[in-house]
A and B are shown apart, each in its own frame.
Chain A
């Protein structure tokens, strides 16, 4: 099985930088995903890491350390529209190799 842990809530100021952490335990790691979900909407893909290191995509970056079972999502130059839930998801090699297990999400509130 898998265990994924991320903070329930975070608050940050517009224009600032925020880091959302995710720790996981899995028997057959095959990639880590971050999704963004606005209230009442579907999750949308943000980033993917399978090797250690930092992946940068505009204002968003994601980091992975497989040995530590740890990832973070870094959001720069925060905007009000970034207020949303951020979901960490781990893919497992078993069961066809395409199964994602999601964390419960971190609700980010961006304030003026």
Chain B
């Protein structure tokens, strides 16, 4: 089955710095890679996703990159703000013909210091 490794487990940055969270996956058939943000005491929320036919996707201050050859994908947050502090989860799954069940990473706790 799929195995997703996520690093780092904790990331501490100063407000305004950039933050990068990296995930690797093992199943080359995985083709959908979402990222979730979970603030303290709240539900995880989908913030950005990327499919295997795209190498990069941006949405304002967040971006995701995908390297299919190396089987890794990354979340990039620029100009971090205190409200970016949360736990971030990556996931990998096979859509359309696959099981649809995502395999989640273990999460990265991002702390943005004002």
A-B complex is real:
no
Interface residues of B (CB under 8 A from A): none
Interface residues of A (CB under 8 A from B): none
